[in-house]
Structure 1
Amino acid sequence: MKNIPTLYSWVGGNDALEKLTEIFYDKVLHDDLLQHVFKNMSAAHTKHVAHFIAEVFGGPELYTQGDDGSHAKMVAHHVGKLLTEAQRQRWIALLLQSVDELGIADDPEFRSALVAYLEWGSRIAVINSKLTDNPLQHDAPMPKWGWGVPGGPYIPKEQ
């Protein structure tokens, strides 16, 4: 494939990610294991998270430019939260359930890249949640996530 799309474009762009985070955080706020962690989130939280994921997946810099965020600021939100493995696993399960409900790209390559990112990011969040100080400098680069191996979306031969 000559022009491999970004994960951002493959998922459906910002609109798809904002809808995903809306549906997902509604589930989180009604989940016994997670609701207390997120009960005080701002009204803009779902969009901030969508913009963060968008930027990580190769989309526009809405989080760092429009939301005045940074990787260090995202990490700072987790410091001191004392997140558990059970909470991490539920967070991923609810997010993947939300992806499925929306019918977001369900090809194996995208799902593999998505799950790899969620596993990586959520495990880092748990590690950082046990810290008292942010391990990142304010100018730490944003993570960038791609297709990994084999390197692109699955497109059946009939297309």
Structure 2
Amino acid sequence: MKSLYDHAGGHEAIHRFVDVFYASVLADPVLQPLFGAGRPEHVAHLTAFDAETFGGPTEFTETTGFAGLIAAHRGLKITEPQRQRFVELYLLAADTVGLPDDAPFREALRSHVEFGSRVAMQNSHAETDDQLHPLREVPIWRWPGEE
């Protein structure tokens, strides 16, 4: 079965999606306090993360690593309204750039961002390592119902 990465259109499509999403986050009054003025490398990091998560190249793990992702979220104190807005803008960006809109792909996309945003929110409130979410590697997302 074709990976979510390939179905989305590969690296170029995911990069375009993340670029639009990140611009919307930086312009959003609810999320901007978490991201500040942004960081130039953030689009590349998130592109690599999403690509790997969807079954593409393992560049994120090889270059950035999951520990860096955990560290980036610690102390942010992400609120539930911020998490929900993040999910909303993520899915809106998928529409904006024309990622596939078939129900199985969109369900995978939604479950991916819902899960990831919950992990980030938990890690953002962790005051000790024991309070961190137990996930320590990039999760590989599959089609709904696929194991």
- TM-score exceeds 0.5: yes
- Corresponding residue number in structure 2 for 1:100: 95
Identity %: 37
Long gaps (5+) in structure 1: 152-159
**Which protein is richer in helix relative to its size?**
2
* Counterpart-to-counterpart distance in 1, 2:77 and 2:104: 32
Once residues 11 and 94 of structure 1 are traced to their aligned partners in structure 2, the CA distance between those partners, rounded to angstroms, is: 17
SS for the counterpart of 1:20 is: helix
Identify the residue that residue 118 of structure 1 maps to in structure 2.
Answer: 113
Normalised TM-score (structure 2): 0.90
User: Alignment RMSD, CA only?
Assistant: 1.6
Partner SS state of residue 77, structure 1: helix
CA distance in structure 1 between the aligned counterparts of 2:67 and 2:35, rounded to whole angstroms: 19
Q: 1:20 aligns with which of 17, 22, 31?
A: 17
Deviations 1:37-82 (A, max 9, x none): 11243201011101001011110012122xx211222122111100
Q: TM-score, normalised by structure 1?
A: 0.84
> Whose Rg is larger?
1
Contact 1:81 1:129 survives alignment (8 Å)? yes
Q: How many residues align?
A: 143
Gaps of 5+ in 2: none
Cα pair 2:83 2:117 within 8 Å, conserved: yes
Q: Does 2:134 align with 1:141? A: no
Counterpart mapping for 1:68-87 below 5 A: 68-87=63-82
